[in-house]
Amino acid sequence: MSGRVLIIDDEPQMARVVERPLVAAGLEVETENQPERGLQRLREEPFDLLVTDLCMPGIDGIEVLKRARVIRPETEVVLMTAHATAGTAREALKMGAIDYLTKPFSVSTDLVPLVRNILESDAGPSNEDEPEETARAGGQAGKPKKLIGESQPMQKLASLAERVAQTSAPALLCGESGTGKEVVANLVHQKSARSSKPMLSINCAALSETLLESELFGHTRGSFTGAVKDQEGVFAAADGGTLFLDEIGEMALSIQPKLLRFLQEGEIRRVGDSSRVRRVDVRIIAATNRNLVEAVKNGSFRQDLYYRLAVVPINLPPLREHREDLGELIAHFLETVGSTAQFSEPAMQAMQRYSWPGNVRELANAVEHAVVLSTGSVLEIEDLPAAIQESETLLVGAAGPEEEETLDAIERRTILQTLQRTEYNRSQAARLLGVTRRTLGYRIRKYGLEDTIETYQGELQRNGATPLSA
């Protein structure tokens, strides 16, 4: 077993207990007893795994986890806690932890096997031809090197990404959640002249206003509570490379002028140090699933910043607009999870008919869900997530020869298909059907479609997308 592990625990004795068996197993291990120093070490050096205590003074393990996911998204994180609850576990896993250990635990039967499983697993395609430094720094190891799909929308997207990669102009990736904006950003970086330099990423919606500004631009000691020492931000760390700003539409208005200044002047200032200016060379790729034009109109996003970011807008198509790529995508995700199973024809038809509100991300989850639940080499409809099964039951149950259908059955099927077409947006569906929103609401209740809408919205939230207004 090989790899680099960073341990953060405010109790030196506990840190040594964790360190010794990992060193004996052949790992390179570093320990830090202060969370801030540990995070600084993570900024300075790449690690394969971070093991951190949950309850620590100043910065707790959840906050360490949040910052670590920003600093080095490729580093897996395990939390150790003596106070584990179901809520704590859910929060840790939701924030990106790969697992957690409850104290007291056995270093031989719990810790070492867990670390071995993490470091020796490889669910993604090989990146042997990618420089290790680039893969680590960018946090993009395992990402596909090309867009998957031969449909016209995907070929158009691939061609545009190729052309954008040849420039250093800012790019704005637009599209629904789950369409693969991070994959496109990674491909643009890989194919650019900056590919040998770091690609770092930040989710603007995942951090508080103060923390986001600090992570972007850095800070000086004492500039805010918890700033115990000077710290460089990701702009400085990504100098010469690319910075991916995901969910840019959620960036606070107070930070937007500083980002605009960088785009105009190539200069940044650390929080708490307004007198010192630093010039950096960083290419910005931003992404959003919000309508930034509307955000500009309602005053939540600066117009001048929007035009600076949208020099090259790239629109990613939702999966429902390139269903012909489903077969190739499914084959890719089966390979990714290491399965040789195949979907049955009815299961493939069900997936072709499904509306995929969570897009490609939802498809990847559905494939993994089926593989986990299946007991054979053929994946059936029963192995798919409940939302797909429910949708298929309603569609098939409402179908059949029209001459045998009642008027209610035909109306129910039409309403369901229109709701799916509009991603269950009742206002849009009502306009397409030529009825009032109240009438549509009545028909939805009459035909028992409320559960279908709730299932859709729940699936949307689980896949990280924002539910549309019902």
d(CA 35, CA 41): 10
Q: Look at residue 144 and tell me if it is in a domain.
A: yes
The rounded distance, in Å, linking the Cα atoms of 422 and 222 is: 51
The answer to whether residue 125 sits within a structural domain is no
- Identify whether the C-beta of residue 259 lies closer than 8 Å to the C-beta of residue 170: no
Q: Dihedral sign, CA of 367, 418, 462, 145?
A: positive
Residue 340 lies in a domain: yes
pLDDT value for 254 = 93
Shared-domain flag, residues 304 and 416: no
Same-domain status, 183 and 228? yes
Q: What are 407's two structure tokens?
A: 């008027």
Q: Which of 251, 285, 317 is the last residue of a domain?
A: 317
Same domain, 115 and 142: no
Residue 26, CB half-sphere, CA atoms under 13 Å: how many? Answer: 6
Same domain, 200 and 330: no
C-alpha torsion 319→309→245→278, nearest 10: 160
The closest of 294, 362, 295, 363 to 326, measured between CA atoms, is 363
Give dist(CA 119, CA 114) in Å, integer: 9
Amino acid symbol at 424: Y
Choose one of 120, 142, 158: the last residue of a domain: 120
Q: 28: how many CB neighbours lie within 10 A of its CB?
A: 13
Q: Are residues 416 and 377 in the same domain?
A: yes
| Backbone φ, ψ for residue 138 (5° rounding) | -85, -15
Strands (E), 192-300: 199-203, 242-246, 267-268, 278-279, 283-288
In angstroms, rounded to a whole number, what is the distance separating the alpha carbons of residues 279 and 309? 19
Task: Clarify whether residues 238 and 327 are in a common domain.
Answer: no
Q: What is the pLDDT along the chain (470 residues), one digit of tens a residue?
A: 688 999 999 888 888 888 888 888 889 999 999 999 999 999 888 899 999 988 888 888 888 988 888 888 888 888 887 765 545 555 666 667 777 787 767 776 678 888 887 787 543 333 333 333 333 333 343 344 578 999 999 999 999 999 999 999 999 999 998 999 999 999 999 999 999 988 888 889 878 888 888 889 987 876 666 666 777 788 988 999 999 999 999 999 999 999 999 999 999 988 877 678 899 999 999 999 999 999 999 999 999 999 999 998 999 999 999 999 999 999 999 988 888 999 999 999 999 988 898 899 899 889 988 988 888 899 999 999 888 887 777 665 544 444 445 556 766 777 887 787 777 888 877 776 655 566 677 678 777 888 777 776 676 666 655 555 44
127 part of a folded domain: no
86 vs 139: CA distance, rounded Å? 29
Is the same domain home to 327 and 431?
yes
Number of domains in the chain: 3
pLDDT at 140: 40
**Domain range holding 258?**
132-317
Cis-peptide into 104, omega within 30 deg: yes
Picking from 271, 295, 317, the residue at the C-terminal end of a domain is 317
Same domain? 148 vs 187: yes
CATH code where residue 39 lies: 3.40.50.2300
Residues 423 and 387 in one domain: yes
DSSP type of residue 271: B
Shared domain for 186 and 326, answered yes or no, is no
Cβ atoms within 10 Å of 306's Cβ, excluding its own = 21
- HSE of 379, CA atoms in CB hemisphere, 13 A: 24
The residue to which tokens 């008027």 are assigned: 407
- pLDDT score for 123: 38
Check whether residue 34 and residue 181 sit in a common domain: no
**The pLDDT value given to residue 399:** 47
In a domain, 469, yes or no: no
User: Does a structural domain hold residue 433?
Assistant: yes
* Alpha-carbon dihedral angle through residues 367, 372, 373, 379, given to the nearest 10 degrees: 40
Which residues lie below 8 Å from residue 348, measured CB to CB, with a gap of 6+? Answer: 326, 327, 330
Q: How many residues does the chain have?
A: 470
Segments of 54-210 assigned E as strands: 76-81, 99-102, 171-174, 199-203
CATH number at 430 reads 1.10.8.60
Integer distance in angstroms from the first to the last C-alpha of the chain?
A: 51
pLDDT at 460: 63
CA–CA separation, 231 vs 220, rounded Å? 6
Position 122 scores a pLDDT of: 47
Bridge-based pairing state of the strands 312-315 and 171-174: parallel
- The reply to whether 468 falls in a domain is no
Cα(66)–Cα(79) distance, rounded to whole angstroms? 12
Residue 72's CB is within 10 A of a number of other CB atoms, namely 26
- Are both 304 and 187 inside the same structural domain? yes
Asked whether residue 304 is assigned to any structural domain, the reply reads yes
